[in-house]
Chains A and B, each alone.
Chain A
Amino acid sequence: MSSATWRNFFTYNKYAQITARAVRQSLKESERVVAEKRGTTALKYQQWENGVGGPQVLLNSEEGKK
């Protein structure tokens, strides 16, 4: 495995996400659409101060990386 040194850069979780994404992208067109949805992650955060919530911000880091 030429990528045996991935440990220098990634955690196992990240490695598992990369291989899962590779498998999803290799599926036939009909199944790929459903599978791709499984891979997307989105994060929404909101800052609270003195009992008042700030604006909700959508942070989609997965999209940004791709």
Chain B
Amino acid sequence: MSTLRLLSSAARRAPSALAQQRRGYAEVADKISLSLVLPHQAIFTSTDVVQVNLAAATGDMGILANHVPSIEALRPGLIEVVESGNASKKWFASGGFATVHPGNKLTINVVEAAPLESFSSEAIRANLQEALKVAAGNGSEEDKMEARIEADVYEALQHALGSK
């Protein structure tokens, strides 16, 4: 859908030679305005980026310019931002919501997030073992569910760090 729009707008803007040009990610003209914010920090504030990859609760998705307006709950996972060219930055977020607004704006609100370099594999391994122990133990159903949620986060973290 957005490719169609890009071709027609390019044709309007420039001579017909440009309309034949194949769209590659390196020459993308349309960017989406991203605001990635935490309660205590704004990582991006209305910054134009090429692509944002999200771990939505309903599945992994990539957001490009002119995406249809949508609201997606995020599961604990990676947020990858491609600002330009091939370089991308990754953060691990604990969860939140991603909203694509009409007018080519993407707002991501997460509770806690950090770049992958900020995490410690040993701490994650130890935490995961602890959580699995509680989840399989004799505590209350609530405690066990809490441990299971934490275990899921640690496993997602390990997966994210492993496939850096």
Contact = CB atoms under 8 A, between A and B. Distances in A.
Interface of A: 1-3, 5-6, 8-10, 15-29, 31-32, 35, 38
Nearest to B161: A26
Given A26-B120, A26-B154, A28-B120, A5 B145 contact: yes
Given A15-B95, A28-B123, 7 more contacts: A2-B152, A10-B145, A19-B149, A23-B76, A23-B93, A26-B119, A35-B114
Given A6-B145, A16-B96, A35-B112, A22 B153 contact: yes
Nearest to A12: B73
Nearest to B111: A20
B120 A27 contact: yes
Contact of B118 (A3, A17, A18, A31): A31
Contact of B152 (A1, A21, A24, A25): A1
A23 B92 CA distance: 8
Contact of B76 (A6, A9, A17, A22): A22
Contact of B111 (A5, A16, A27): A16
